[in-house]
């Protein structure tokens, strides 16, 4: 489990990190928190001896993404992501930038993930954007492109994982957002799943945010979700 650290301040983030680090494999730092506090967000998580998934979804011309990937690697993050829809060359350059940055600081290359189709998008919304395929087909196409580019894995909805595993095998890393524990109000995610279903489908990591943050007892909820994940892994 990776906790989505959408905090309002460094103090709030530190509180979440200290409460949850024993139950998670790392913390996701996204655009909201990183834009608010910058590199301090990454350092805070590393200082509590945990790992950072930098969720900035780089999507630009190949040169710019390579340089962004280089800087992400120099932060010594565990994982970061780019949009697969940026194209094959852009993704290849992201890997190259990550390798260059990691070599400079003498650390392993971060895992580079490709974002396929956002879990907030429905088939109808994809059609509005101009994609001819539905979410499942579009996800598979982009995942194959990410594999060809040399990425370590993808970010994909739990709904598409069974197809991805059948077509791409077991060795490609799949990180799944859109994990829900209980029915949520004001839901902006469309293609979601419970943790057990996502793990049984073949997800390597689950990104969980609101089900823990909005719970009456966040720590107890994190523990329950972790237990469900472990039980599913042992089946």
Active site residues: 57
The residues with which 26 forms a beta bridge, in sequence order, are 2
Rounded-to-integer distance, Cα 171 and Cα 153, Å: 9
Measured CA to CA, the distance from residue 68 to residue 79 in angstroms comes to 13
Cα(60)–Cα(146) distance, integer angstroms: 16
Are 94 and 88 within 8 A, CB to CB?
no
Work out whether the CA dihedral 74, 77, 79, 84 comes out positive or negative. negative
158 Cβ partners below 8 Å, 6+ apart?
A: 176, 178, 179, 191, 192, 193, 197, 198, 201, 203
Cα 130 from chain centroid (whole Å): 25
- Backbone angle region of 81, left / alpha / beta, with phi > 0 → left and psi within -120 to 50 → alpha: beta
């Amino acid at each position: 489990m990776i906790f989505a650290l959408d905090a309002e301040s460094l103090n709030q983030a530190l509180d979440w990190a200290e409460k949850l680090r024993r139950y998670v494999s790392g913390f996701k730092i996204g655009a909201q928190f990183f834009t608010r506090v910058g590199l301090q967000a990454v350092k805070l998580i590393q200082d509590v001896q945990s790992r950072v998934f930098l969720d900035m979804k780089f999507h630009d011309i190949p040169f710019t993404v390579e340089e962004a990937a280089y800087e992400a690697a120099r932060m010594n993050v565990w994982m970061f992501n780019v949009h697969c829809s940026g194209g094959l060359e852009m993704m290849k350059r992201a890997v190259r930038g990550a390798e260059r940055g990691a070599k400079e600081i003498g650390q392993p290359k971060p895992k580079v993930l490709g974002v396929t189709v956002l879990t907030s998008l429905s088939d109808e919304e994809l059609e509005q954007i101009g994609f001819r395929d539905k979410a499942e087909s579009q996800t598979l196409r982009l995942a194959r492109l990410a594999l060809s580019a040399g990425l370590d894995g993808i970010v994909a909805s739990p709904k598409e994982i069974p197809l991805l595993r059948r077509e791409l095998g077991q060795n490609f890393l799949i990180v799944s957002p859109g994990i829900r524990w209980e029915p949520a109000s004001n839901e902006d995610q469309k293609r979601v799943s419970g943790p057990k279903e996502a793990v049984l489908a073949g997800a390597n990591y689950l990104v969980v945010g609101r089900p823990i943050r909005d719970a009456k007892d966040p720590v107890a909820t994190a523990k329950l979700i972790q237990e469900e994940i472990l039980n599913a892994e042992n089946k």
